[in-house]
């Protein structure tokens, strides 16, 4: 049966011709994809086919001599009618679309076909990456997934060609793009994976580079035949890893996690993983796609740096305490009354001692947090009582910046947290809000319920977070402007400490830019009101 024409046929042909790819020479980058497709699916024929007006032309082919065939007898002409789906035909002789096809009726003719449409944009399917066999069969789910991933890479190659042709330096950019993608195929620096969202991260697909990283082959991980990533992961890292991923999936956001594994050879490695959930149109999670790479060397350097900072901080603390104490005694009059000029200079020295003390305390805090050495004492806390206490403690600082802290009415909620460390987080958020707010403005503090979490928000009327700084706001030693540390004060460690503390308390921290300011929020587990103790 001759295939119908797609409803967007002219647009589809225009997009194909803009690529200027028809009748060009074979290219290694495309041939690598068809070779892999044939090997993964276990078939003798694999093709990248582009459907022209009256023919289908093969950009790459394995196991056949023809460079093109008529579109009237093309299986791919049927596949492109449904750009978002794989066309799989288990037995072409029993399919009414192909039963009368001469390629099926011929001796040793086609029985099995599976093709993934190559969709460039706006639903325009230019052709397919397909696999063909002369015996009836169906592909396993992992094979179908691999075929989709290879088709996606073929589409990326076509997109790269289109981008290069649109540029005035067409030929140079095209060569560079093809080399880049060819290199990605042959020498991916890390692991590419697709897995299910379960406790064992059941792998649907994982690239061969996993053997270099873990000592186990890709086949060992598929469907967890021999091993799973959870089995290799340090037991202490699993709860944090799982919690971070589930939080990101709940918001349909990407995740970035670091954790340790033990390889087959018994070697400990640090890994970094970037991934995100793939969802259906109605929001149902299908699977996770992501990348994993080795950051052991980076972690070693980071550990040496942290040890150095920690050592220096501890060595500075003792003499600084002595200096601060001595300055306090002199300013308190223990040596008698001082001239005004000397008193002023000593006050400057004392203020800077306090700044250095805060810096050292922050450095030691972040070092302990990163090393997991902070001990938390979690208890049930009344949200409004805690906020009233924090406002009372921080109002004098806000007053120095001509700013007023106001607690908004809200529901009566209880939460689970370490009281002292939560006060530290609130102090940082309130002082930042006051510091960056204009004179005679208000900072609003509110409490609400958000998805079974208690949300505490601090909203200021400042300039907000600059676009170029958003990705670094919770990183160590980050400040929006180099001048901030001089004009506003601070070390650039406060928000990094807040993030680590919130994660340690099984909470989260974030922000939202508003039209007239910025709103920082923290979210912590909701708790039941404790029962009152009734005396006997």
pLDDT in tens, 45-94: 999 999 999 999 999 999 999 999 999 999 999 999 999 999 999 999 99
Nearest to 424 by CA among 376, 475, 484, 476: 376
How large is the average pLDDT for residues 375-388?
89
* DSSP letter string, 517-535: EEEEEEEEEEEPPPPPPPP
How large is the average pLDDT for residues 209-222?
91
Query: Going by DSSP bridges, is the β-strand pair 403-407/441-450 parallel, antiparallel, or unpaired?
Result: parallel
* Per-residue burial over 339-348, b = 16 or more CB atoms within 10 Å of its CB, e = otherwise: eeeeeeebee
Least confident interval from 84-88, 121-125, 301-305, 372-376 = 372-376
User: Residue 304 has what pLDDT?
Assistant: 75
pLDDT of 268 > 70? The answer is yes
Task: List beta partners, residue 132.
Answer: 45, 113
327 versus 398: which is more confidently predicted?
A: 398
Q: How far is CA 199 from the centre of its chain?
A: 19
Instruction: Specify whether the CB–CB gap between 59 and 76 falls below 8 A.
Output: no
Element (H, E) at 429: helix 419-435
pLDDT of 400 > 70? The answer is yes
492 versus 473: which is more confidently predicted?
A: 473
515 versus 332: which is more confidently predicted?
A: 515
How large is the average pLDDT for residues 87-114?
94
How large is the average pLDDT for residues 352-365?
69
Separation of alpha carbons 501 and 524, rounded Å:
11
* Per-residue burial over 423-439, b = 16 or more CB atoms within 10 Å of its CB, e = otherwise: bbbbbbbbbbbbbbbee
How large is the average pLDDT for residues 408-433?
90
Separation of alpha carbons 367 and 280, rounded Å:
42
Calculate what percentage of the chain has a pLDDT beyond 90: 49
pLDDT of 173 > 60? The answer is no
Output Rg (C-alpha) for the chain, integer angstroms: 31
User: Residue 280 has what pLDDT?
Assistant: 92
User: Residue 486 has what pLDDT?
Assistant: 40
User: Residue 343 has what pLDDT?
Assistant: 79
User: Residue 185 has what pLDDT?
Assistant: 43
User: Residue 534 has what pLDDT?
Assistant: 45
How large is the average pLDDT for residues 278-299?
91
How large is the average pLDDT for residues 457-472?
82
pLDDT of 199 > 90? The answer is no
How large is the average pLDDT for residues 495-508?
86
pLDDT in tens, 124-170: 999 999 999 999 999 999 999 999 999 999 999 999 888 877 765 55
pLDDT in tens, 310-326: 676 666 666 777 777 77
User: Residue 436 has what pLDDT?
Assistant: 86
Least confident interval from 173-187, 396-410, 422-436 = 173-187
Separation of alpha carbons 436 and 426, rounded Å:
16
Calculate what percentage of the chain has a pLDDT beyond 70: 85
How large is the average pLDDT for residues 423-437?
89
The structural domains of the chain, ordered by start, are 9-186 (3.30.450.40), 191-294 (3.30.450.20), 299-370 (1.10.287), 378-527 (3.30.565.10)
Phi/psi at 509 (5° precision): -135, 145
* Per-residue burial over 7-16, b = 16 or more CB atoms within 10 Å of its CB, e = otherwise: eeeeebbebb
User: Residue 359 has what pLDDT?
Assistant: 66
Identity of the highest mean pLDDT range in 161-170, 172-181, 343-352, 511-520: 511-520
Average pLDDT of the residues of the chain: 85
3-state secondary structure of 451: coil
């Amino acid at each position: 049966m001759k295939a119908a024409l797609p409803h967007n046929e002219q647009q589809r042909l225009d997009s194909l011709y803009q690529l200027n790819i028809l009748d060009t020479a074979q290219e290694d980058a495309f041939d690598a994809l068809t070779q892999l497709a044939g090997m993964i699916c276990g078939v003798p024929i694999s093709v990248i086919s582009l459907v022209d007006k009256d023919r289908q032309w093969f950009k790459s082919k394995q196991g056949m001599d023809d460079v093109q065939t008529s579109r009237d007898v093309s299986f791919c002409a049927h596949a492109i009618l449904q750009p978002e789906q794989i066309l799989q035909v288990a037995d072409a002789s029993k399919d009414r679309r192909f039963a009368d096809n001469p390629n099926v009726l011929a001796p040793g003719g086609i029985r099995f076909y599976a093709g993934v449409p190559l969709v460039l944009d706006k639903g325009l399917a230019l052709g397919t990456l397909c696999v063909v066999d002369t015996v009836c069969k169906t592909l396993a789910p992992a094979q179908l997934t691999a075929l989709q991933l290879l088709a996606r890479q073929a589409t990326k190659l076509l997109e790269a060609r289109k981008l290069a042709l649109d540029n005035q330096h067409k030929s140079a950019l095209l060569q560079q793009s093809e080399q880049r993608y060819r290199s990605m195929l042959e020498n991916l620096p890390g692991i590419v994976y697709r897995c299910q969202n379960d406790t064992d991260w059941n792998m649907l697909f994982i690239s061969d580079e996993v053997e270099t990283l873990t000592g186990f082959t890709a086949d060992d991980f598929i469907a967890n035949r021999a091993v799973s990533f959870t089995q290799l992961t340090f037991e202490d890292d699993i709860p944090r890893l799982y919690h971070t991923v589930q939080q990101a999936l709940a918001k349909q956001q990407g995740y970035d996690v670091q954790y340790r594994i033990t390889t087959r050879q018994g070697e400990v490695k640090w890994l970094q993983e970037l991934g995100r959930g793939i969802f259906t149109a109605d929001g149902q999670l299908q699977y996770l796609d992501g990348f994993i790479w080795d950051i052991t060397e980076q972690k070693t350097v980071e550990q040496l740096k942290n040890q150095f900072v920690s050592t220096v901080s501890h060595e500075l603390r003792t003499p600084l305490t002595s200096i601060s104490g001595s300055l306090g005694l002199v300013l308190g009059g223990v040596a008698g009354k001082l001239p005004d000029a000397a008193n002023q200079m000593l006050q400057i020295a004392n203020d800077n001692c306090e700044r250095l003390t805060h810096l050292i305390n922050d450095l030691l805090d972040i070092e302990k947090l990163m090393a997991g050495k902070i001990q938390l004492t979690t208890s049930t806390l009344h949200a409004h009582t805690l906020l009233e206490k924090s406002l009372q403690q921080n109002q004098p600082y806000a007053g120095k910046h001509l700013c007023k802290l106001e607690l908004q009415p809200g529901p009566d909620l209880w939460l689970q947290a370490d009281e002292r460390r939560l006060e530290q987080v609130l102090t940082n958020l309130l002082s930042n809000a006051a510091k960056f707010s204009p004179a005679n403005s208000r900072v609003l503090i509110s409490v609400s319920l958000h998805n079974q979490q208690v949300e505490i928000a601090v909203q200021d009327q400042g300039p907000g977070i600059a676009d170029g700084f958003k990705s670094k706001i919770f990183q160590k030693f980050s400040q929006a402007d180099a001048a901030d540390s001089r004009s506003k004060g601070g070390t650039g460690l406060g928000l990094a400490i807040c993030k680590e503390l919130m994660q340690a308390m099984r909470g989260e921290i974030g922000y939202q830019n508003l039209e007239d300011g910025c709103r920082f929020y923290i979210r912590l587990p909701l708790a039941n009101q404790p029962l009152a103790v009734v005396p006997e």
